[in-house]
Structure 1
């Protein structure tokens, strides 16, 4: 009689199935699921070799089955580029089955999200999607769509980056992500591309070349070309390099420290909506200058900027504060990415989002106060677009410090999507509660200075100057009432 032997319950394929069903599992859970002893599980894990990803120490040790992307089953090295332009190994990323990834943050200086009791957590390097330090690197906004259109065919991805999965984003970063937000570069190929770029880098634009070059870059951007940085934001913009003045030490136009700039631009047709956007770009420049001049003592810094005109267009040139000199970089993360990793809250005003971060010890000293002041300033200048992507931080020593202000302008007066320019209503300043006075008062004084400056700036249209003057009068009344 032929004997029948049952399939061993401890076969390697059973380990793969168990880990695919329960990623980031402790050995004890695997032993229970497989119905075998703990030594047998450890033998299976050793036998699987590099196919298994293991993170954590002692009782927090967990295991996952490695997942391939386009045939690649190995680790994805993640590098950082320091402020002197030198690349360093930073962490490694591995895709795990059935989804998610493993990437430890220990020793990186980035704050680690809180543990979830009984579950695999980001504290040990387990992530359900892309780790939060990489979330802002995904192509977004106006420039992100240009980037996606330029590379999607070569990468066999959808032309709209909003349709990209986390795996699609990882592939794009590893192949072409050498000039992203912050200081991180994913993969050897992207880092080699960045290194090669240093050998063949174009010279920054001389001041005499800026106007003509910006006009050409604006036309190219409007035509759908010129894929550059993946910096977020819906306003039409392009990235550029313009030279620092001869003899300058660390300061260029507007006090800049780097030739890297993002340049927003208005339309060139002279229509009412185009004039309104030109006014708003000037207002953004003045708002950033006001923050730097009046709110520095409150811990608020601002991106350096300048406003210029050429060929019927207005241009707002904003220094990239995540760049230093020609090649240096520094880390950056948005409140949107931080919220997703640490809080998971629906959109709320910045102070309400930051309060639990401060309570958890994740904000550097003074950051909560500075962000509250900046939020009040935005409200008092009519900024109705203070979403979670418009506030960013510099991670350092496990905490988050406020990054310079950007995208700060009276969006209340923005043209409608169809090009209509609605009337500009008078601002309605919200008066502070007693506990809010320490933040409201310096913000109100700065906002008053902003409106007064805009009212007297001959570069603004007469309508905008008149509205700014009326707003200054209205805010002055509110300051008198608030005491």
Structure 2
């Protein structure tokens, strides 16, 4: 290092510390130095080096420069991998943490820059929901709720601990060298489910989970089949019996939708002496080891739709308007959303719809199989302990989708009629299911 460059290096570093990013021309004006001198100073600060203090954004004449920032002691820059249908991880690009709490991702000629969070297509790396809260227990020094983590904490966690997120992307680091969730050595699938549920349920209040999220765990069988497993509280308890019924009703809902041509998660039921389990096959995993990228509607909406969130259909129509989603995708979302309304699903939030995207640089979305479809109006209250089984109420009209509404109503009548003869629900719920079928048949006439 040439001592003559030290004052200019210091000046450039101080300028970049005060301003998130500057061009070479701006640095020239601020320092009064020539372009070659600025280039030498940037190089001396580590530009282009794996652990350099300066990072380039853009290219050629649009280049800007910013300071990197350590990820809580880890390097600022990490390789970003993408797993394909063959399961072989491919180098996608580089993720760099920058001053100003920003993330820069470069892949070839494509770049993404975000402040305070991850780029939209990397949001599956963030721990979320019940599984995210369980995973967060690996870092008792961080807030218990991952939603309250700083961006630096999130990146640190992703590098060190996130090893089997949804979708296809991963940050190269210690986490990727650790095997994902595997089936226990229990002799049967039922035994494995019981043991894993007992482990996952240790921290739960009676009958529920943090924030009302349904408890679940990941399971991979020896043949490579990967499941997301929901489970009931212990059977023989009021909450246990209600969730036993709701899990059966969820499987029925997905079976009805599949019977009418709507792609849904493949599911199976497992019942043991202590609990009921609903196993949903992971549709972001293909064949034995393959991957397909998946992003929740929340992240897609927030990045691509310039309007507040309303409901699934509104988001899909906005995506269609930008040629990012096909008309068939809008119809699928509308059919699922309307069916959900007609079966009392009061929890169709933006984490319960996802999209496949195979090229994040030139995105075009496909509605992923439907999941988490059940009468959440009957979910037990974690606050009052209420186990209401109120009848279905007439949902609001979704303008412009009369044909889809008629079809979804017919499917829901079929759903409630089939539920009314499911002995596993118990006579009280069966009676309400039968009443709900009648309400839909008469279009709530006289009510």
TM-score bracket for the superposition, by shorter chain length: 0.7 to 0.9
TM-score normalised to the size of structure 1?
Answer: 0.80
TM-score (norm 2): 0.86
Cα offset for 1:353? 2.3
Q: Which residue of 1 aligns with 2:208?
A: none
Residue equivalent to 1:133: 121
- 1:374 corresponds, among 324, 336, 340, to 336
Partner of 1:275: 241
Distance 1:191 1:221 in 2: 22
Asked if the contact 1:55/1:125 (under 8 Å) is kept, the reply is no
Partner residue, 2:103: 101
Match of 1:475 in 2: 440
Q: SS of 1:317's equivalent?
A: strand
1:239, distance to aligned residue in structure 2 (A): 1.5
Distance apart, 1:43 and its partner CA: 4.2
SS of 2:79's equivalent in the other structure is strand
- Name the CA distance, whole Å, in 1 between partners of 2:226 and 2:305: 33
* Residue deviations 1:36-70 (CA, integer Å, cap 9, x gap): 55555444334432332213234433221111123
For 1:340, the equivalent position in structure 2 comes to 302
Match in the other structure for 2:207: none
> Displacement, 1:168?
1.0
1:269 deviates by: 4.4
Match of 1:464 among 410, 429, 437: 429
Q: Find runs of 4+ consecutive structure 1 residues off by over 6 angstroms.
A: 7-10, 203-206
CA distance in structure 2 between the aligned counterparts of 1:243 and 1:477, rounded to whole angstroms? 50
2:392 maps to which residue? 426
- For structure 1, which segment, 353-362 or 163-172, has the greater mean C-alpha deviation from structure 2 after superposition? 353-362
Distance in 1, matches of 2:394 and 2:22, equals: 55
Question: How many residue pairs were aligned?
Answer: 427
User: Please, what is the CA RMSD of the aligned residues?
Assistant: 2.9
Q: Is the 8 A contact 1:283 1:410 kept in 2?
A: yes
Distance 1:234 1:105, change over 3 A: farther
2:146 corresponds to: 161
Which structure 2 residues correspond to residues 8-407 of structure 1 after superposition, within 5 A? Answer: 11-36=8-33, 38=35, 40-48=37-45, 49=47, 50=49, 51-104=53-106, 124-128=111-115, 129-149=117-137, 151-153=138-140, 156-194=141-179, 209-224=188-203, 234-242=213-221, 259-294=225-260, 296=261, 300-343=262-305, 345-364=307-326, 366-397=328-359, 398-407=363-372
Structure 1 position 74, deviation (Å): 4.8
Deviations 1:385-408 (A, max 9, x none): 111111101112421111111111
Q: Which residue of 2 aligns with 1:248?
A: none
String of CA shifts for 1:218-251, please: whole Å, max 9, x gaps: 11111139xxxxxx9920111112366xxxxxxx
1:33 shift after superposition = 4.3
Residue 73 (structure 1) shift: 3.4
Deviations, residues 356-394 of structure 1 (Å, cap 9, x unaligned): 222222224522222122111111111111111111011
Deviations 1:149-183 (A, max 9, x none): 1x215xx5344433321211111111121111111
Quick one: higher RCO (CA 8 Å, sep 6+), 1 or 2? 1
CA distance change for structure 1 residues 282 and 77 in 2, over 3 Å: closer, same or farther?
A: same
